[in-house]
Amino acid sequence: MSVRQSQSVSRGGTAARAAKASYVNSEAQRLIAAYRLQQHPEGGWYRETYRSAERVTTSSGAVRSATTSIYFLLTTETFSAFHRLSSDETWHFYRGDAVTIEVIDASGRHQSRTLGTGDVLQTTIAGGAHFAAHVDAADGYALVGCDVAPGFEFADFHLTTRSMLTAAYPHLGPLIARYTR
């Protein structure tokens, strides 16, 4: 475990506490402990697994790692609330049940992208889009990997409020209400 990961676990709490916070499928509990995942502010559990030493300058002038990677786990009882990143994010399905990513682009167009069914194992969400994710299988879970380029920084993470997103896209009100806190 890197120093950054160790500090992150100590700030965010242990995986065991996270797993006990609400009912979690037993295989998901095992994965949370095995991968030392911690709760993510958007929902679900995560752990950063890679941060490139290569630095890049974004179009806004910010200096970021070229890329970052995480494990990310969702369950039927949790969801990844609508949020927005400045960078592109690629999701890779690893195991468990299908996970659906709800994407709203700047024009208000909505797409549902499901990973883990058939041959669909990866998708990329363009920077600036609002997106949320969920697992619908009864007692289900999904373990995915997420790569962000230029690399993830919490400064570029914007958790969307229900009122702000509904005001911008009123035609998507029920979807927004379901996947915001």
Q: Judge whether 32 lies within some domain.
A: no
Token pair, residue 41, equals 């502010």
Token pair, residue 174, equals 């029920």
Q: How far is CA 131 from the centre of its chain?
A: 9
Q: Judge whether 9 lies within some domain.
A: no
Range of the domain at 165: 42-178
Q: What is the mean pLDDT of the chain?
A: 89
Tell me the C-alpha distance between 92 and 90, whole Å. 7
Total-model pTM: 0.86
Label residue 95 by pLDDT band (50, 70, 90): very high
Q: Judge whether 110 lies within some domain.
A: yes
Q: Where are the alpha helices (DSSP H) in the chain?
A: 3-12, 15-20, 26-34, 162-168, 173-178
Average pLDDT (24-40) is 96
The CATH code of the domain that includes 62 is 2.60.120.10
Predicted local distance difference test score (pLDDT) of residue 24: 81
